[in-house]
Structure formats: C-alpha cells, structure tokens
C-alpha cells in the first residue's frame, strides 16, 4: 500500500487578539487524510517534535460542523486514531512514503522554517521522485528547504506556488500580529524565496496548482484539491 505523510505544526500558543491559540488548522489535516484514504493510501502524521495542538478558531462552529464535527469528536474515527499516533520527525523513515503533505494553521510560521527534521524528510521524498505538497500556511516549510539535487538552491526557487494571501491575513485581522512578532506572510515569503506567487481569485476561494511534483493550495477550501493533485502528480 502506498503511504502518505501529513506534516503539521508543533506550535500551539496564544496568537489571536481574542486570546485564542493557533496551531494545526483542523480541516487542513482532515481533508487530505480523507482524500488519501479514499484512494487507498496508508496515511500517517508527523510533526517536528511529535506534538499536535489545534488552532482554536478552526474548531469554531464556522469551520467545524456536520460530518467534520462528528469525525473530530469521535475518538475512534480513523482520523482521530491516526493523529493520536503522530510521529516525531526524527523517528520517521522517509523511504516509506511517496507523498508528504504540509497542512496549515498560523502555527507553521513559527516552527516550519526551523523544522530541520521535516525539511530532511521532504528532501528525501523529493529525491526519490515523490511529491511535496503544502496548503494555506503549510508553504512556510519552503523557508530553508533546499533542493536535494542542488543544495545551493531552494526547492521552490523559480517555481510557481500558492498559499494564504496577504488579503486573507487582513481579513483575519492578524497583519499587525505577524509584524509585531516579526513573522512574514506566505505571500511575502514566496517572493523572498524566489518563487512566483499565484493567488486565488478571492482569499478564501479554492485554488491549487501543481508544478511537476510540487503541489500547493491557497487556503482551507483548497485542502482536498491539493491532495487530489498530489496523487495525480505522483502517478504522472
């Protein structure tokens, strides 16, 4: 059975002005999990430290309702059981996986750029002709992620990617928070890394793109299509 690895942030501290914590954006882990399972993939979770905590806004009724709420609240659901067995990056054998998918949530901007364990896994999967995918704030992983075949070059340099936009950050009211904490946006990061940024038609509209084996999605609405394109990229 082909295996996919969903990588998530370990960061889970207060971020929002209302005192809510950031961390993993729930749907951005659940949706790819369901897509991979539907295509008969074995799916596992990893974070740099083996810890997971949720973005509290992603658990609000606006985002968490219906079937998703059922899955989240059912501790025996496939998703809940799988994420409860989350691995530490240093305990992962990258050779076991064909796809690594970086989920989002603002927590990623804190730990993904320094997540050398996750960087190493992504490089090994890429070098073995696997797929590297990221959605929303997941592309924070590209900061410091070198191309294993050209160590002096970043993996996304010269490539077209997408991710959460500056306009989206403004709508969420966190622009000043990011500035105050000296954290950049994904859109600004893309430019700094030498990638071409492809925004969605509107901040929360579905938008995902594949450039060869590099697949990115713009926002929570793009989590499923990013996984679908990752599977197609692997098969092609």
Whether 190 contacts 154, CB under 8 Å: no
The structure tokens 């973005």 sit at 55
> Active site includes 136?
yes
> Active site includes 137?
yes
> Active site includes 207?
no
Whether 207 contacts 219, CB under 8 Å: yes
* DSSP string for 85-147: TPEEGGG--GGG-SEEEE--STTHHHHGGG-HHHHHHHHHHHHTT-EEEEETTGGGGGTT-EE
Residue from 137, 170, 187, 205 carrying the catalytic annotation = 137
Residue from 169, 205, 206, 211 carrying the catalytic annotation = 169
What gap in Å lies between CA 236 and CA 231, rounded to an integer? 9
The structure tokens 């690594």 sit at 100
Structure tokens at 23: 């961390």
Angle between helix axes 66-73 and 27-38 (nearest 10 degrees) is 90
Residue from 106, 136, 187, 207 carrying the catalytic annotation = 136
Which positions are catalytic? 136-137, 169
């Amino acid at each position: 059975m082909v295996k996919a690895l969903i990588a998530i942030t370990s960061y889970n501290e207060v971020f929002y002005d209302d005192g809510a914590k950031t961390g993993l954006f729930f749907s951005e882990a659940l949706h790819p999990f369901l897509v991979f399972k539907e295509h008969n993939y074995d799916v596992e979770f990893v974070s740099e430290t083996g810890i997971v905590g949720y973005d509290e806004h992603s658990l609000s009724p606006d985002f968490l309702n219906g079937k998703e709420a059922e899955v989240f609240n059912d501790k025996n659901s496939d998703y809940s059981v799988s994420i409860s067995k989350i691995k530490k990056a240093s305990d992962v054998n990258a050779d076991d996986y064909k796809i690594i998918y970086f989920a989002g949530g603002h927590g990623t901007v804190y730990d993904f750029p320094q997540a050398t364990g996750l960087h190493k896994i992504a490089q090994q999967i890429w070098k073995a002709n696997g797929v590297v995918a990221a959605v929303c704030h997941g592309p924070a992983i590209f900061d410091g992620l070198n191309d294993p075949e050209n160590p002096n070059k970043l993996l996304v340099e010269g490539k077209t990617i997408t991710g959460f936009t500056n306009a989206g950050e403004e709508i969420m009211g966190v622009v000043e928070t990011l500035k105050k904490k000296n954290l950049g946006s994904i859109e600004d990061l893309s430019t700094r890394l030498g990638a071409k940024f492809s925004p969605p038609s509107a901040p929360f509209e579905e938008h995902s793109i594949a450039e060869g084996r590099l697949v990115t999605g713009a926002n929570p609405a793009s989590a499923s299509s990013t996984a679908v394109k990752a599977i197609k990229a692997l098969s092609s």
